[in-house]
Amino acid sequence: MRKAYTTVLTIAGSDGSSGAGIQADIKTFAALECYGVSVITAITAQNTTGVNRIYPLDEECIKTQFRSIISDIAIDAVKIGMLGSAETIKTVAALLRELQDDPPIIVDTVLASSGGKPLLPPDAIPLMKEELFPLASLITPNLPETALLTGMKHPPATHEAIESAAVQLLETGAAAVLVKGGHGEGEECYDCLLYDNRFFWFNSKKIMTGNTHGTGCTLSAAIAAFMARGESTESAVEMAKEYLNEALQAGAAYHLGNGSGPLHHLHRLWS
């Protein structure tokens, strides 16, 4: 009897430089023994130095992509990346309700590029919280995104402030919240997971590399892959962080472009 693929659907923007977005997600899924399928929400013109232009796709295009995939292929998990507009948020939220079997949905709260270019209008943030968060098995904001999502003046800087922000985000309806600490001060990265009424803290040494393009995309994609494979939320986060750190470390040995290069997503497959 033939085995079925473990599948993960990514709904996100396209990055032609393949460091982030759909391309990074597909590479991550493949590296973690999952078959990736995609719905593209926008085409970006970008490279390692930044995002130059964004071309959103219309509602009908997104709907047709999504329904073509799910009419033929069973989905074991979903990763949501860059949506870019209030209209796309509404469209994607409605489409997610069409999924069968309630696969885990991981929402990467993409609000700006790593270079600081806004990727979602500020007035669309409340809609993201209202429409998408209640559907999410996990949301994965970094510290600056956490501040924007909670209305804080500054990103939370202490364990107590991060835990308080995670509680506030959980109240929006998401099943779990991972506040990523990579933007924090110091040589250690502290990530806080609020899940099943418990806080789980993960810490690791920061990988000192200039090749960090697509770090957030990769982590959320890896979590989706491990949850598709049946791991619990806590276990999926722990395993995804291990994979991410390996990809950062391996990517530091390579050079691509003139800016922030990509992680080495396929480091486990290359000799």
> What pLDDT score was predicted for residue 119?
84
Q: Is 259 a catalytic residue?
A: no
192 has catalytic annotation: no
Look at residue 161 and tell me whether its pLDDT is greater than 80.
Answer: yes
Residue 216 designated active-site: yes
Mean residue pLDDT of the chain comes to: 95
Q: What's residue 112's pLDDT?
A: 81
Marked catalytic residue, from 41, 140, 150, 215:
215
DSSP string, the chain: -PPPPPEEEEEEEEETTSSSHHHHHHHHHHHTT-EEEEEEEEEEEEETTEEEEEEEPPHHHHHHHHHHHHTTS--SEEEE----SHHHHHHHHHHHTT-SS---EEE----B-TTS-BSS-GGGHHHIIIIIGGG-SEE--BHHHHHHHHT-SS---SHHHHHHHHHHHHTTT-SEEEEB-TTSSSSEEEEEEEETTEEEEEEEEPP--S--BTHHHHHHHHHHHHHHTT--HHHHHHHHHHHHHHHHHHHTT---SSSS-B--TTTTT--
Whether 25 shows a pLDDT value over 80: the answer reads yes
Round to whole Å and give the CA distance between 261 and 258.
8
Chain segment 114-158, per-residue pLDDT in tens: 667 788 888 999 999 999 999 999 999 999 999 999 999 999 999
Given the residues 36, 109, 217, 241, the one annotated as active site: 217
Q: Sorting pLDDT into bands at 50, 70 and 90, what band is 195?
A: very high
Q: Is 55 exposed, middle or buried (0-12, 13-18, 19+ CB in 10 A)?
A: exposed
Set 81, 84, 182, 214: catalytic member: 214
In the predicted structure, residue 52 carries a pLDDT above the cut 70: yes
215 is catalytic: yes
Residue 121: how many CB atoms within 10 A of its CB? 12
Range 167-179 average pLDDT: 97
- pLDDT tens-digit series, residues 198-242: 999 999 899 989 999 999 999 999 999 999 999 999 999 999 999
In this prediction, what percent of the chain has a pLDDT beyond 90? Answer: 88
All domains of the chain, ordered by start, with CATH?
7-142+210-251 (3.40.1190.20)
Check residue 184 and give its pLDDT: 63
